[in-house]
Structure 1
Amino acid sequence: MRPSAVLESALYAEDLAAAEAFYSGVMGLDVLAKVPGRHVFFRVGAGILLIFDPRATETAHSGARLPVPPHGARGPGHLCFAATRAEIDDWRARLTAAGVAIEAEFDWPNGARSLYFRDPAGNSLELAEPRLWA
């Protein structure tokens, strides 16, 4: 047996309002759920992007409604979104117009294109052609 897909991915940000503004406004993702001071979740295609405030999730809370184990990370994480080469061109223009700095853009040895930038928490984000891993 093996998993068939990644269902959810998590990044961490202490300023959830800035994260929500970025991922909903700049990235165009729909907010699926949020709990102020703890998390904001977004739908990304068939998957879910979880943004947690690590201060709220790295310790266990007695009396929690659901028994989710403590988790959290410090420092920048990484997430890559799938995009076609033409979409990457459109994203570059959209991100630049929103004042988001492009850190790198290049073609991998297999010819797939990647574009790197950061969210307000400093997480490294990438847009890449799916053939990067084909």
Structure 2
Amino acid sequence: MPAFPALTHVAITVSDLAASTAWYEKLFDAEPVLDEDEESGAFHHTVFALGGGTLFGLHTHTSSGPDTAGFDERNVGLDHIAFACTQSELEEWVSRLDKAGIAHSDIKHAHYGSGISFRDPDNIALEFFAPPAG
């Protein structure tokens, strides 16, 4: 049996594709590699290429769903998305978030690693996470 595979992509549904695309362009310091209607016409996706070959997609759907109240990690489903970094890179990410005008937490340290939490325009919880040094 092969080892369990790595994640290839993450896709999130957003309420305002243009606003979210601009916000994520600032966060990633990159433009999308794909911006198109899906063949079935059920959704539009804008996709960014991240390090390690992972894709990060923003989706809008042609039919509205039942929940328009916005993201809440206490609901069943996604809790948060964490981007990998090293302990030494955390301060650099604080500076980059500050420069982009993105509100964030202080660096939080725990026995299992350290992280910086922040949220996108739809309140989706995001994090830069570093495993413990050593």
In which range does the TM-score fall when normalised by the shorter chain?
Answer: 0.7 to 0.9
The offset of 1:104, in angstroms, is: 4.8
Q: 2:85 aligns with which of 83, 86, 100?
A: 83
Task: Give matches, 1:1-134, under 5 Å.
Answer: 1=1, 2-35=3-36, 38-45=44-51, 46-53=53-60, 55-56=61-62, 75-76=71-72, 77=78, 78-110=80-112, 112-129=113-130, 131=131
Unmatched tracts of structure 1, length 5 or more: 60-73
Q: Structure 1 residues 31 and 87, CA, compared in 2 at 3 Å: closer, same or farther?
A: same
Once the two structures are superposed, what CA deviation does each residue of 1:36-85 show, in whole Å capped at 9, x if it has no partner?
Answer: 672211111111111112x33778xxxxxxxxxxxxxx624421101112
* CA distance, structure 2, for counterparts of residue 6 and residue 57 of structure 1: 27
The offset of 1:103, in angstroms, is: 3.2
1:71 maps to what in 2? none
Unmatched tracts of structure 2, length 5 or more: 38-42, 73-77
Runs of 4+ in 1 over 4 A off after TM superposition: none
Alignment check: 8 A CA contact 1:38 1:57 kept: no
Q: What SS does the corresponding residue of 2:56 show, helix, strand or coil?
A: strand
CA RMSD of aligned residues (A): 2.4
TM-score normalized with structure 2 length: 0.73
* CA distance, structure 2, for counterparts of residue 84 and residue 33 of structure 1: 29
